[in-house]
Chain A
Amino acid sequence: MAEAAIELIGINKSFGAVRANRDINLEIAPGTIHGIIGENGAGKSTLMSILYGFYQADSGEIRVGGKPITIKTPNDAIAVGIGMVHQHFMLVENFTVLENVILGAESEALLKKSIVKARSELQRLEREYGLEVDPDAVIEELPVGLQQRVEILKALYRGAEILILDEPTGVLTPPEADHLFRILKQLKEQGKTIVLITHKLREIMAITDTVSVMRQGTMVATRETAKTTVGELAELMVGRRVLLRVEKGEAKPGAIKLSVKNLTVRDSRGVTMVNDVSFDIRGGEIVGIAGVAGNGQSELIEAISGIRRAVSGSVMLDGKPIDVIGIADPGELRDRGLAHVPEDRHHVGLVLAFEENENSILGYHDDPKYLNGPLLNIDAIRNDARDKIEKYDIRPGDCRLKTANFSGGNQQKIVLAREMEQDPGVLIVGQPTRGVDVGAIEFIHKRLIAMRDQGKAVLLVSVELDEIRSLSDRILVMFDGRVVGERGSDATEGELGLLMAGVERKEAAE
């Protein structure tokens, strides 16, 4: 057998009290696509950042091509042909593509020659791999899919033979992800070694040759992809059996709770993002909105929940209008029984610097049960937070901890617990499981179904088609600001995919 491209032996890494990596051993064969899966916080990014020299391991050894080497800085990693596409892109946003590509790889003190060289090299890479991107485009004006391409180009420009991709599909639409996978396969055919980190099991099955599973900082197993199953991997990841399908009974729709009529919303640039959208949601049903990110879903729920002003149209909550064009006040809407779990929990849903218990009542802090005259009733708030922690299994179970110290999945649970425990009549949820691990996804889905079964109306927006299909009783597909189709929960992925891609209704029906 050929020498391993990379060998990690006994890697340990702690951040303060957190042991992110414990005694990790890993061998990656050359010319293969090696997947690494694990829940959020399992230590995948940390391990790969150590390999790339971004962090230093506390102990352990790294071998590249059989030779032990020390990787102290990313420079050392680049020198032995390791390239990495980070989970959070490492791009200078107001630089052009070209400037980002040459940054750190400039051949001399003046830029001119480097730029000329990079331009022709980019053309070659474009021809070879179909990695098209305008070299003079400014990064912040590119869609994320293309930004990621720039990251890949950066690595290839530096002559990477081993390419690490950390959760590359988290930001991509399904067609973009497919394109990425085609590129990865092509890179593999050219003899490059690829390490693909993800927490999506389907991607692992679709593209990897070998897969390693991480759990709570340890490497629990390595399998040949062809000889394992989604079920086994999921179990290894979470450490117990998980239900991948949501079990739910028949919906019993009641009266109309939320009614949207001819709603039109523009974004800050004046572009029409929601165009004449109408629908009703009844109590006891989950209505899912499917669509590729950026087709107006976000603006739609922001307008309904009073965060963004609409241009025209009307919204009725329990038969009474919401002033979506003027000043719909999210606080007042909460009082009227409309709760909102925002898509972006970090910027809209939580104050990360607050303690957990403070976030768990944020927005409901005027509720008399949290007040003691004009002052906050700290004891009541903390007790309430402890109840939610127990009920929603939020970990670590310390309501005094700073919210920033919780993992993404647990932060999401804090927001969900806050909004659901107010017992709203209508719940609007955006991307409920984005960046959330398998175990928590299952829990969140069960909760949403339970809300439905209590007769609440749920409006679900998600870019995860599987999630939409398994939870929704009715599915609306948005494309370019319009609702282009409505389907039942039995809609096939292909059918929805066509609608999401904007293929006309009639063609899709044929």
Chain B
Amino acid sequence: MDVLVQLIDATIRVSVPLLLACLAGLYSERAGIFDIGLEGKMLAGAFAGASAAAVTGSAWVGLGAAILTAVCFALVHGFASITHRGNQIVSGVAINFIAAGSTIILGQAWFKQGGRTPSLSGGGRFEAITLPGAEAVKDVPILGTIYSDILSGHSLLVYVAFLMVPFTWWVLFRTRFGLRLRAVGENPAAVDTAGISVAWLRYRAVICTGILTGIAGAYLSVAQNAGFVKDMTAGKGFIALAALIFAKWKPVPAMFACLLFGFLEAASIRFQGMAWPMIGKVPVQLMQALPYILTVILLAGFIGKAIPPRAGGVPYVKER
């Protein structure tokens, strides 16, 4: 029982950056801008967040810095792919490289700890929140455990991430912005002839992506961990992309996809080095590779056809 609770708890923690990045990608890709630079934006956000929090001692300043930085990176991607109609994949890859390189260089230059940022403590971090009444119901079987051990005791950003799911759904399907966003990813010419600026709409979508990847980065370095370490995103941006495809670009399925991938990762950590009946010890590397292997298998055909937004990846060109 304890193992299960711990596993679920860990799953939630690990899923959060995936979920935030996945929703970030959802805004951009639904608007027709493919973004494989989620990883880079998250990394840049994590670094900026940890740096700002370390210098000011405030997690909130850290969060702001993370968002601002990620939005700047997102705008670069927007400038390349919306204004200059460049190749979106190339631009995304470039952003990943720039983020990976610059965080290490700046980190070393500023803090001289081999690319790390100073360890955060106290107000410099988002601490776990205990939900009201969690202590009181702790001993109620099952429901009490769920409330106090699984739902309660996470940092603020965890709750933000999960609230973003219904919020994103509401934005996409209940607001004017969402309607236009979905339209521009399917047929930008239709949006244009309806009297709406395609470029401005896409820029707004890309900014949403920046904000969410910034939060994801801040979660990694200012909430889940107490500082930045190099390459701390460790491919999460790519897993989030896989989850996005797996979820067919829909917010609620995106949450479940991220929870699934998060669960695999949590399990691989939890059962590391454990001897299984019949099989014996499974190499650590295999456990760590499991989420990626599953991604490949799932994407290779277990989810049916995932049809991306029709105008995705294609710059909008009116005059040839």
Contacts and interface: CB of A to CB of B under 8 A. Distances in A.
Contacts of B285: none
Interface in A90-109: 90-95, 99-100, 102-106, 108-109
A15 B310 CA distance: 26
Given A93-B187, A112-B174, A74 B179 contact: no
A93 B186 contact: yes
Given A75-B195, A109-B175, A91 B318 contact: no
A15 B179 CA distance: 32
A144 B60 CA distance: 54
Interface in A101-125: 102-106, 108-112, 114
Interface string B157-183: 000000000000000001111111011
27 contacts: A52-B193, A54-B193, A74-B195, A84-B193, A86-B193, A91-B190, A92-B190, A94-B310, A99-B183, A100-B190, A102-B179, A103-B179, A103-B183, A103-B190, A104-B180, A104-B196, A105-B194, A105-B195, A106-B179, A108-B176, A109-B175, A109-B176, A110-B174, A110-B176, A111-B178, A112-B174, A154-B194
A103 B186 contact: no
Contacts of B194: 74, 90, 103-105, 154
A74 B318 CA distance: 13
Give me the 8 closest cross-chain CB pairs, A-B, nearest first. A104-B194, A75-B195, A90-B190, A106-B176, A90-B193, A74-B195, A92-B183, A92-B186
Contacts of A105: 194-195
- In terms of DSSP, what is the predominant structure of the interface of chain B? helix
Contacts of A114: 176
A190 interface: no
Contacts of B177: 109
A91 B187 contact: yes
A94 B248 CA distance: 14
A433 B110 CA distance: 70
Contacts of B182: 92, 95
B80 interface: no
A78 B195 contact: yes
Contacts of B174: 110-112
A237 B186 CA distance: 37
Contact of B176 (A52, A78, A91, A111): A111
B231 to A, nearest CB: 38
B191 interface: yes
A442 to B, nearest CB: 29
Contacts of B180: 103-104
Interface residues of A, number: 32
Given A103-B191, A109-B176, A15 B319 contact: yes
A106 B180 CA distance: 10
Nearest to A107: B176
B179 A54 contact: no
Contacts of A154: 194
A99 B175 contact: no
The residue among A15, A99, A104, A105 with the most chain B CB atoms within 10 A of its own CB is A104
B320 interface: yes
Give the contact-size bracket for chain B. Answer: 20 to 34
A59 interface: no
Nearest to B190: A90
Contacts of B192: 54, 74, 90
Given A54-B192, A73-B197, 9 more contacts: A15-B320, A74-B193, A90-B193, A92-B186, A104-B194, A109-B176, A111-B175, A111-B179, A154-B194
Contacts of A15: 319-320
B189 interface: yes
Contacts of A104: 180, 191, 194-196
A181 interface: no
B13 to A, nearest CB: 35
Nearest to B196: A104
A55 B319 contact: yes
Interface string A338-382: 000000000000000000000000000000000000000000000
Contacts of A108: 176
A84 B175 CA distance: 26
B232 to A, nearest CB: 38
Contacts of B186: 92-95
Contacts of B196: 75, 103-104
A280 B111 CA distance: 86
Contacts of A84: 193
A304 B310 CA distance: 32
The residue among B175, B183, B186, B190 with the most chain A CB atoms within 10 A of its own CB is B190
Interface in B276-320: 310, 318-320
Contacts of B318: 54-55
Contacts of B193: 52, 54, 74, 84, 86, 90
Contact of B183 (A16, A86, A95): A95
